Amino acid sequence: MHLVNRTFAEISVGDAAELRRLVTADDLYVFAVASGNVNPMHLMDTDMDGDGTVERVAPGMFVASLISAVLGTRLPGPGTLYRSQSLDFHARVCAGEEIVVRAEVLSKADGIVRLKTTVAHADGRLVLTGEASVEAPVEKFDQADIDVPGLIVQRHRHFEALLDRARPLPALPTAVVCPDEAKSLGGALLAARESIISPVLVGDAAAIRKAAAELGEDLVGIDIVDVAGDIPAAARACALVHEGRVQAVMKGHLHTDDLLKPMVERETGLRIGRRFTHVFVMDVPGQPEPLFVTDAAINIAPDLPTKVDICQNAIDLARSLGMDPRVGVLSAVETVNPAIQSSIDAALLSKMADRGQITGGQVEGPLAMDNAVDMAAARTKGLKGAVAGRANILVVPGIDAGNMLAKQLAFISHAEGAGLVLGAKVPVILNSRSDSAMSRLASCAVAAIHHFAGKP
């Protein structure tokens, strides 16, 4: 950032400066944290002012604070100190609206500069007017290497958007397998309250009711299919799919292997021809769209045919969510190295996509993690194309790398992850015991959107 001030001697009456600013929801979150003003009117889509419009209203003092941005960076600029500021508010500003902030010099004397200050909507409607009195700098400042740390708001806007898309859909009939402890049952009931799923609880009925009592929940009106044992409960869930009673399966309090074992049975399972693969749909703060990590939970050391299904399943899910699938096949390097099998597989997958053996998305590899998701890193390595630096699906070499990557995003980058198993007759919602309520809700939302995609 290059900053240049105007000293008291350089300022003339009539001088003016302005900035244009798009007010975003993230601006309001940052201001709430910094100021302590967590008024829901500023942070939630509400109609608390009763004007009939759902909106997020920017705090008046946030809008006023933008005047100091003009004074401190443009006129007079660096070295300016406030003496006083008057404010008269005329209209509100909401998230998503652009405003123009302006300061004009009225007078100068004895080192003090008086300025007319205004904030207006982009169409000219006044938001506030006032007058500022400042001490103008006397020393010249001209510096081009001003570096201000960036801020990333830790909120999960992509999952919020998915929930908004899922709520109007029909509630997805879902067999919840062994929900016999608080978190697994609570996640299913929460998704039911949001009208995302319609749960059928499959497992030990007494244990399920005990878990409900611990939560203070009432299971009246919810189907319970009493089955003893984890694997028999998972097998019963498969049967419910074949009977047409449910259109999804959700993991409760049982091991993933026990859940999936009946599903891969040839006669009674849920096979449809592709391999079962797992996708983490990650909502990473600061990223422009969800980021997929696959496969991080089922296929331990996938061979090339399995990776084809991993790619295709992830592409199909991304398209269901309305994304443009850009698959980065990861390796330790971005060049083919005969000693690194993952780089060879990546190159083959890329060529198979070129020849139509993988469809619906763009596939490129091998890519290292940095040049898969960072455009500057991709340019440094001379990588071109639609995927390098912009990948939204990351296909990992094996379960070790995938699991580490997903947990790094969750515990270091503060991402939330929705888990789904694809390649079965119906979506299989796969949560871990440590998942948050938002992760469980988002997993159900992803399953519902995927299931109903393209259906009238």
Task: Report which residue type is found at 389.
Answer: G
- Between the alpha carbon of residue 298 and those of residues 257, 334, 345, the distances in Å are 9, 25, 19
Q: Do residues 101 and 38 share a domain?
A: yes
Q: Residue 418 is inside which H or E element, if any? A: strand 416-422
Q: Could you tell me if residue 285 is inside a domain?
A: yes
Q: Are residues 199 and 318 in the same domain?
A: yes
| Of residues 283, 261, 329, the one with CA closest to residue 162 | 283
Distance of CA 36 to the CA centre of its chain: 24
What pLDDT is stored for residue 456 in this prediction?
53
- Last-in-domain residue among 143, 165, 185: 143
CATH number, residue 84: 3.10.129.10
Longest dimension (CA), the chain: 91
* Domain housing 343: 157-452
Q: Are both 26 and 77 inside the same structural domain?
A: yes
Q: Is the dihedral of CA 397, 403, 406, 407 positive or negative?
A: negative
Average pLDDT of the chain to the nearest whole number: 92
- 113, 143, 173 — which closes off a domain? 143
Instruction: Write the pLDDT tens digit of every residue in 64-88.
Output: 999 999 999 999 999 999 999 999 9
Q: What is the CATH number of the domain that holds 348?
A: 3.40.718.10
Q: How far is CA 158 from CA 64, 187, 433, 444, in A?
A: 30, 19, 22, 14
Q: At what angle do helices 182-193 and 205-215 cross, to 10 degrees?
A: 70
Quick one: 63 and 207 in the same domain? no
In this structure, of 120-134, 237-251, 273-287, the range with the lowest mean pLDDT score is 273-287
Identify whether the C-beta of residue 177 lies closer than 8 Å to the C-beta of residue 237.
yes
Contact 426, 451 (CB under 8 A): yes
**Residues facing residue 303 across a β-bridge:** none
Q: How many domains does the chain have?
A: 2
User: Judging by DSSP bridges, how do beta strands 3-4 and 142-143 pair with one another?
Assistant: antiparallel
- Residue 161 CA to its chain's centroid (Å): 8
pLDDT at res. 160: 86
DSSP code, position 359: -
Position 73 in a domain:
yes
End-to-end CA distance of the chain: 51
Is residue 79 assigned to a domain?
yes
Q: Is residue 151 part of a domain?
A: no
How many residues are given for the chain?
A: 456
Between 132 and 146, name the one with better pLDDT. Answer: 132
HSE at residue 301, side-chain half, CA atoms within 13 A, is 1
- Does residue 92 fall inside a structural domain? yes
Could you tell me which of 213, 261, 206 has the C-alpha nearest to residue 238? 261
Could you tell me if residue 221 is left (phi over 0), alpha (psi between -120 and 50 degrees) or otherwise beta? left
User: Are residues 300 and 387 both part of a single domain?
Assistant: yes
pLDDT at 193: 92
% of the chain surpassing 70 pLDDT: 97
Q: Do 108 and 163 fall into the same domain?
A: no
Rounded to 5 degrees, what angle do the CA atoms 87, 89, 95 make? 115
Q: What is the pLDDT of residue 148?
A: 74
Same structural domain, 317 and 171? yes
Is a pLDDT exceeding 90 seen at residue 8?
yes
End of a domain among 143, 178, 201? 143
Q: What is the per-residue pLDDT for 149?
A: 74
Residues 364 and 323 sit within 8 Å (Cβ to Cβ): no
pLDDT tens by residue, 207-247: 999 999 999 998 998 999 999 999 999 999 999 999 999 99
Is pLDDT of 39 > 70? yes
Instruction: Quote the distance between the C-alpha of residue 128 and its chain's center.
Output: 34
Least confident of 155-164, 168-177, 415-424: 155-164
> How would you classify the pairing of strands 277-283 and 416-422?
antiparallel
Position 311 in a domain: yes
Other CB atoms within 10 Å distance of the CB of residue 229: 14
What confidence score (pLDDT) does residue 49 get?
Answer: 67
Mean of the pLDDT values across residues 100-105?
97
Rounded to whole angstroms, the Cα distance separating 141 from 250 reads 62
Residue whose token pair is 């630096």:
389
Q: List Cα–Cα distances, 415 to 291, 369, 438, in angstroms.
A: 10, 17, 11
What single letter denotes the amino acid at residue 260? Answer: L
Determine the Cα–Cα distance for residues 76 and 17; give it in Å rounded to an integer.
9
Residues 89 and 138 both lie in one domain: yes
Query: From its phi and psi, is residue 11 left (phi > 0), alpha (psi between -120 and 50) or beta?
Result: beta
The structure tokens 């119906």 sit at 426
Say yes or no: 225 and 103 in one domain: no
Mean pLDDT of 287-301: 93
Give the model confidence (pLDDT) of 149-160 as tens digits: 766 666 678 888
Whether 166 contacts 445, CB under 8 Å? yes
Residue 435: predicted pLDDT: 77
Burial of 137 (0-12, 13-18, 19+ CB in 10 A): buried
Confidence of residue 256 (pLDDT cuts 50, 70, 90): very high
Predicted confidence at residue 147, as pLDDT, reads 77
- Residues pairing with 249 in the sheet: 175, 428
Cβ(409)–Cβ(292) under 8 Å? no
In a domain, 149, yes or no: no
Distance of CA 309 to the CA centre of its chain: 25
202 and 118 fall within a common domain: no
